Amino acid sequence: MKVELKCISCGAVFPPSMVIYTCPKCGSLLDVVLSLDELQGVVSWNVFRARCFNVWRYRELLPVFDDSKIVSLDEGGTPLIKCDRLAKWVGARSLYIKFEGANPTGSFKDRGMTVGVTKALEYGAKAVACASTGNTAASMAAYAARAGLKAIIILPWGKVALGKLAQAVMHGAEVVGIEGNFDQALAIVRSLSERHGIYLLNSVNPWRLEGQKTVAYEIIDQLGGAPDFIILPMGNCGNISALWKGLKELLELKLVDRAPRLVGVQATGASPVVDMFKSGSEVFKPVENPETVATAIRIGNPVNWSKAIRALRESDGLAEKVTDEEIIKAQQMIACLEGLGVEPASAASIAGLKKLVEEGSLDANSTVVCICTGHLLKDPEQAVRASRQPLKVKAELDEVERALSYIISTAHALPLPSS
């Protein structure tokens, strides 16, 4: 299949053999452009559904040229779970969670890494690198290990959740913490990659987004059609960019008859894209010192902001910001009402939905899919901090009974966090 890299600003086109991350002419972001004409009539839901349910079910739409180099951990194929109890709390009629925590390293990043690391092998790279708030690091470290590549990771020191750090170091990556934030780490790793020819795997890399777009295919595949809204958290904005690209490809291939409206959610302390979208401004203003409990999306200068704005505008979408309190409340409700453990950034999607329904900007009768991007166990320290602590007693029955007296006397219901 014919594949090109195309600048989203000046339209310049480059061959896929060039190792570039941004446009060599104007510096803007690149899109991978597939010639979908060749696939009309070749791909169909029947063709896809005859295969295993993972990212590679959609093989024709993934621009990898050498199948023997594919680095996979059976990523994707995550559950789409109907959440009726949570829907009631949110005030919506029909709500699904796309549970990306079920990916091999516990986040949606694996979808992008399977393609990104395969590209690294195709290009003949020996080492890969990324800056990360944690999940990209964990995923890249795992896929690099499987591919036999060296992995270099730059992190904001002290601001990466424990589970993610544990993964990065256990998979053997070289990890450097900087006394600074993610945005600074990204600037450093971009220079590092350029100077030393190390393959860059942040979401500025357009190939990574090719893997991540499969979440769009899966949602439509699982629902058998388009929902009214898809809601997701935004950090560096790779995911919303990829989601929209995937949906547009399905539209062009006539594999879906309409596009869902996209909703991007950020934390109030790190909301440059939401602010720009809501104000209707053409000027992007980064946030100097981003801050939020959702460390995954503690990003003030998202590299893909222009693709995110494009996705929100083209899909007639919405954007919303939520406080740390709203994020934690939503995380508890997802956990207690549905049994789904998600990390704070992921809960931002549900918190955003609740706010938009309450404001009346999102019709409560809509069918909504919220993408929950990462697993609860990514940030165990935050989960323990946010929850009731276990009681410690002597190893005696009556001590345990006394500790449980309230529950035992009201055994009809476990207490849930008050709404």
Looking at the Cβ atoms of 166 and 403, the one nearer to ligand AN7 is 166
Site for ligand AN7 contains 203 (CB under 6 A): yes
Touching ligand AN7, residues 27-86 (CB under 6 A): none
Site for ligand AN7 contains 103 (CB under 6 A): no
Cα-based torsion angle of the residue sequence 42, 44, 47, 51 in order, rounded to the nearest 10 degrees: 130
Give me the least distance between CB of 137 and ligand AN7, in Å please.
6
Looking at the Cβ atoms of 92 and 204, the one nearer to ligand AN7 is 204
Judged by CB under 6 A, the stretch of 21-29, 60-68, 236-244, 359-367 that binds ligand AN7 is: 236-244
CA 372 to each of CA 147, 239, 320: distance values in angstroms, whole numbers, following the listed order:
27, 12, 16
Cα dihedral 106, 109, 114, 119 sign: negative
What are the backbone angles phi and psi of residue 369, rounded to the nearest 5°? Answer: -115, 120
Neighbouring CB atoms inside 10 A of 176's CB total 15
Quote the distance between the C-alpha of residue 386 and its chain's center. Answer: 23
Looking at the Cβ atoms of 237 and 256, the one nearer to ligand AN7 is 237
What is the residue-wise DSSP string for 189-201? HHHHHHHHTPEE-
Looking at the Cβ atoms of 236 and 382, the one nearer to ligand AN7 is 236
Site for ligand AN7 contains 341 (CB under 6 A): no
Sketch the per residue contact string, 270 through 309, with ligand AN7: x for CB under 6 A, - otherwise. Answer: --------------------------xx------------
Judged by CB under 6 A, the stretch of 232-240, 323-331, 353-361, 393-401 that binds ligand AN7 is: 232-240
Q: Give the integer Cα–Cα distance in Å for 156 and 389.
A: 29
Q: Residue from 238, 246, 272, 290 that binds ligand AN7 (CB under 6 A)?
A: 238
Judged by CB under 6 A, the stretch of 80-88, 248-256, 325-333, 342-350 that binds ligand AN7 is: 342-350
Q: Give the integer Cα–Cα distance in Å for 35 and 18.
A: 18
Looking at the Cβ atoms of 92 and 130, the one nearer to ligand AN7 is 130
Q: Give the integer Cα–Cα distance in Å for 313 and 307.
A: 10
Looking at the Cβ atoms of 235 and 269, the one nearer to ligand AN7 is 235
Judged by CB under 6 A, the stretch of 11-19, 187-195, 237-245, 390-398 that binds ligand AN7 is: 237-245
Looking at the Cβ atoms of 165 and 253, the one nearer to ligand AN7 is 165
What SS3 string covers 81-144? Answer: EECHHHHHHHCCCEEEEEEHHHCCCCECHHHHHHHHHHHHHHCCCCEEEEECCCHHHHHHHHHH
Cα-based torsion angle of the residue sequence 411, 412, 418, 419 in order, rounded to the nearest 10 degrees: 160
Looking at the Cβ atoms of 198 and 255, the one nearer to ligand AN7 is 198
Site for ligand AN7 contains 156 (CB under 6 A): no
Give me the least distance between CB of 275 and ligand AN7, in Å please.
15
Quote the distance between the C-alpha of residue 140 and its chain's center. Answer: 14
Site for ligand AN7 contains 239 (CB under 6 A): yes
Neighbouring CB atoms inside 10 A of 166's CB total 14
**Quick one: tokens of 140?**
């890249």
- Contacts (Cβ under 8 Å, ≥6 apart) of 120: 128, 147, 149, 199, 201
- Contacts (Cβ under 8 Å, ≥6 apart) of 189: 129, 130, 131, 152, 154, 200, 202
Binding residues for ligand AN7, rule CB under 6 A, total 21
Q: Is 77 exposed, middle or buried (0-12, 13-18, 19+ CB in 10 A)?
A: middle
Site for ligand AN7 contains 189 (CB under 6 A): no
Q: Residue from 72, 114, 301, 346 that binds ligand AN7 (CB under 6 A)?
A: 346
Looking at the Cβ atoms of 30 and 255, the one nearer to ligand AN7 is 30
Touching ligand AN7, residues 105-144 (CB under 6 A): 107, 132-136
Touching ligand AN7, residues 353-392 (CB under 6 A): 373-374
Looking at the Cβ atoms of 210 and 343, the one nearer to ligand AN7 is 343
Looking at the Cβ atoms of 132 and 167, the one nearer to ligand AN7 is 132
Q: Residue from 105, 236, 292, 301 that binds ligand AN7 (CB under 6 A)?
A: 236
Neighbouring CB atoms inside 10 A of 394's CB total 9
CA 400 to each of CA 57, 220, 396, 397, 405: distance values in angstroms, whole numbers, following the listed order:
51, 49, 6, 5, 9
Residues that bind ligand AN7 (CB under 6 A): 107, 132-136, 203, 233-239, 296-297, 343, 345-346, 373-374
